[in-house]
């Protein structure tokens, strides 16, 4: 099992520049600026297929980082992002110079995805992984009614809302933050659960759960109030029951320049006004 203590949340990669020479895979968003950057870097440093690389450099925004991590799921190849998009919370600054040195000096943040198991109206089951969050969202004008259970115990018998989400620490600054959920530092071993436009109980603002919590959402009055479940890019319609847990058998490694790591960015974001 990967150590997820606060001290291990951000650690030096302990590599040398030569370790990555000729062993870098490059991926880019479909935008022109990202494609041009990818071609320039590949010509300068050489490249191998991402699945065979010692490290992958992702060029684009945060979406490119997530897409790359999904593409490499199960391989745990470190991914170093450089911002060539509009949002770059998970990305480093873009510079063509000294890439091998930057990779060798990078610090690694290890995160674990959420595994969603959704049961639909026709009793089919769908599993998907989420690096950011698993969200439940109403499908029609009718508000959703959802029962919330944690570790086999009913914690909220009925939440009337537009939706609800469970986020990873890495994803706590994404949709979770927009829904007024708390930012969670890496290594805290906590998962934020945040309602989306809660109507009843009106004052409930969500919860912080242990990272090993087993969460179950049951959809009430599902025929009248249909709900969809979304795990990053996977959407399942008309769900009846959704189970969410952290999958610690899968590790994802993101690389950051010293002093600009994900833990520091999460802390800094909490003081942004």
Q: Please tell me whether 35 is known to bind a ligand.
A: no
Average pLDDT over residues 249-257: 91
Average pLDDT over residues 202-213: 94
- Give the global pTM: 0.82
Average pLDDT over residues 224-239: 96
Going along the chain from its start, the domains and CATH numbers come out as: 6-112+250-269 (3.40.50.10330), 114-246 (2.60.200.30)
Q: Please tell me whether 114 is known to bind a ligand.
A: no
Q: Please tell me whether 251 is known to bind a ligand.
A: no
Structure confidence at residue 5 (pLDDT):
41
Structure confidence at residue 12 (pLDDT):
65
Residues tagged active-site: 62
Q: Please tell me whether 238 is known to bind a ligand.
A: no
Q: Please tell me whether 259 is known to bind a ligand.
A: no
Average model confidence (pLDDT) for the chain? 90
Structure confidence at residue 92 (pLDDT):
93
Structure confidence at residue 169 (pLDDT):
87
Task: Kindly report which listed range (12-16, 32-36, 137-141, 148-152) carries the lowest average pLDDT score.
Answer: 12-16
Does residue 2 carry a pLDDT above 60? no
Structure confidence at residue 188 (pLDDT):
82
| Residue 198 token pair | 């809660």
Answer for the pair 218, 184: CB distance below 8 angstroms, yes or no: no
> Which residues, in sequence order, are bridge partners of residue 258?
none
Angstrom distances, CA of residue 111 to CA of 36, 191, 234: 30, 12, 19
Q: Please tell me whether 257 is known to bind a ligand.
A: no
Q: Please tell me whether 62 is known to bind a ligand.
A: yes
| Residue 186 token pair | 């890496």
Q: Please tell me whether 178 is known to bind a ligand.
A: yes
């Amino acid at each position: 099992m990967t150590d997820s203590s606060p001290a291990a949340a951000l650690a030096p990669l302990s590599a040398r520049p030569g370790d990555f020479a000729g062993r870098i895979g490059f991926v880019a968003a479909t935008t022109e600026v990202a494609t041009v950057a990818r071609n320039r870097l590949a010509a300068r440093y050489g490249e191998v297929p991402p699945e065979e690389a010692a490290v992958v450099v992702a060029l684009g925004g945060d979406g490119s980082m997530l897409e790359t991590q999904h593409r490499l799921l199960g391989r745990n190849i470190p991914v170093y992002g450089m911002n060539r998009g509009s949002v770059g919370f998970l990305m480093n600054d873009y510079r063509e110079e000294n890439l091998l040195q930057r990779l060798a000096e990078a610090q690694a943040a290890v995160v674990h995805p959420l595994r969603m198991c959704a049961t639909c109206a026709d009793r089919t089951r769908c599993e998907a992984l989420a690096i950011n969050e698993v969200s439940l969202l109403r499908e029609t004008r009718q508000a959703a009614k959802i029962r919330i259970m944690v570790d086999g115990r009913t914690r909220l018998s009925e939440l009337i809302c537009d939706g609800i989400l469970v986020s990873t620490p890495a994803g706590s600054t994404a949709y979770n933050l927009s829904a007024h959920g708390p930012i969670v530092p890496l290594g805290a071993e906590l998962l934020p659960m945040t309602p989306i436009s809660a109507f009843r109980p009106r004052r409930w603002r969500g919860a912080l759960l242990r990272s090993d919590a087993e969460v179950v959402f049951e959809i009430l009055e599902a025929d009248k109030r249909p709900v969809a479940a979304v795990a990053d890019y996977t959407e399942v319609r008309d769900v009846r029951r959704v189970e969410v847990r952290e999958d610690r058998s899968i590790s994802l490694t993101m690389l950051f320049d010293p002093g600009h790591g994900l833990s520091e960015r999460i802390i800094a974001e909490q003081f942004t006004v």
